[in-house]
Amino acid sequence: MIRAENLTKRYGQHVAIDSLNFTIERGEILGFLGPNGAGKSTTMNIITGYLSASDGAVTVDDLDVLEHPEEVKRKIGYLPEQPPLYLDMTVIEYLKFVGEIKGVPAAEFNNSMERVLSVVRIDHVKDRLIKNLSKGYRQRVGLAQSLIGNPPVLILDEPTIGLDPKEIIEIRNLIKGLGKDHTVVLSSHILPEVSAVCERVLIINRGKIVASDTPENLARRLTGKSRLSLRVDGPANEVKAALRGISGLRDIEAHPSTEEHAVDILIEAEQDRDPRRDIFHALSKANLPILLMRPMDLSLEDIFLQLTTTEQEVTA
């Protein structure tokens, strides 16, 4: 859906982004991450046509951004970090204004607006002045304007910044729902938010891509191992004995559990080794019920810090 080839942007002697190559597939929800000054906003502004690249090219749905600017802009809904709202307009006046700017035909706009108001859940405030809305509802109005015209691509820059926890959860659920019908690029400094919403992350640092993969795969590549936490109903010595017969396990640690008659087990497996099925069968055969099993991979925060404080590159 979106393809960047050797994308470069220079400001005088400063190189903001340097030969970026990436692809965002149709229907994908991508987390676009990087520290301040890494080049995220520059990249997003080039994709949306607000900036031109110094070198390289971006295509959206096989259309070059520079050669077909109007067609590309119709395919993209953009929510910048500061939503471009006119506070003295009502919600409905503002969305009509946006529709006119985007060149949405009147008949199509009426259907589009009703759908957008419903999806973003602001139909009950459509006649209120935007300046009288809460921060959360203003953010919803900003999201609504990006949806006018039903563009196949949504680029959302910090859509939950400044919101309270309840509003964050609501916007998160909205974005998840939008991912069913749109390709979504989400840029955010709230990394748990990205983990909860995005299928893949693209991490940029100092103008270069340093990672492109799922958070789970990045964690395994950076640590060289996969970790699992188990809670098993049974004696520690019997559990460890049953697990030792499984190939590819580097280490097995047993710890007292808070549950009676149970033991907590921490397992380290070799890189790219998923031992969960073998663990299940081994413990089931030994009549040792698994009460809990969960991955203990690096968090997205750990991955982000490791990749943006070193020059190590991890790509799919």
| pLDDT tens-digit readout, 187-245 | 988 787 788 888 899 999 999 999 888 877 786 676 656 788 999 999 999 999 999 98
CA separation, residue 29 to residues 48, 120, 172, 290 (Å): 17, 18, 12, 33
Mean of pLDDT values over 66-83: 89
Would you place residue 127 in the very low, low, confident or very high pLDDT band (cuts 50, 70, 90)? very high
The answer to whether 77 and 159 have CB atoms below 8 angstroms apart is no
Determine which helix (DSSP H) or strand (DSSP E) holds 63, and give its type and residue range: strand 63-64
Start-end of CATH 3.40.50.300 domains in the chain: 2-218
Strand pairing class (262-270; 208-213): unpaired
Mean per-residue pLDDT over the chain, rounded: 88
Is this structure's pTM higher than 0.85?
no
Q: What is the DSSP string of 226-286?
A: EEEEEEEES-HHHHHHHHTTSTTEEEEEEEE-SSTTEEEEEEEEETT---HHHHHHHHHHT
More confident residue, 297 or 316: 297
Better-scored residue on pLDDT, 256 or 307: 256
Amino acid letter, 55: D
Per-residue pLDDT at 225: 65
Mean pLDDT, to the nearest integer, of 148-177?
86
pLDDT for 316 beyond 70: no
The pLDDT confidence band at residue 310, using thresholds 50, 70 and 90, is low
The stretches of 66-181 forming alpha helices (DSSP H) are 69-74, 91-102, 106-120, 135-147, 165-178
Instruction: Name the band, by pLDDT with cuts 50, 70 and 90, for residue 104.
Output: confident
Stretch(es) of the chain classified as CATH 3.30.70.100: 223-295
State the pLDDT at residue 223.
62
Q: Which of 109-113, 135-139, 223-227, 287-291 shows the lowest per-residue confidence on average (mean pLDDT)?
A: 223-227
Give the whole-number percent of the chain exceeding pLDDT 90: 51
pLDDT for position 224: 59
Greatest C-alpha distance within the chain: 73
Q: Determine the pLDDT at residue 28.
A: 92
223-295 CATH pick, 3.30.70.100, 3.50.40.10, 3.40.50.300, 3.30.1360.10 = 3.30.70.100
Query: Which of 156-165, 235-244, 299-308 has the largest mean confidence?
Result: 235-244
Q: Stretch 12-34: mean pLDDT, rounded? A: 92
Q: Please report which confidence band the pLDDT of residue 18 belongs to, taking 50, 70 and 90 as the band edges.
A: very high
pLDDT reported for residue 185: 94
Task: For domain 2-218, give the fold.
Answer: Rossmann fold (3.40.50)
Q: Which of 104-108, 194-198, 299-303 has the lowest mean pLDDT?
A: 299-303
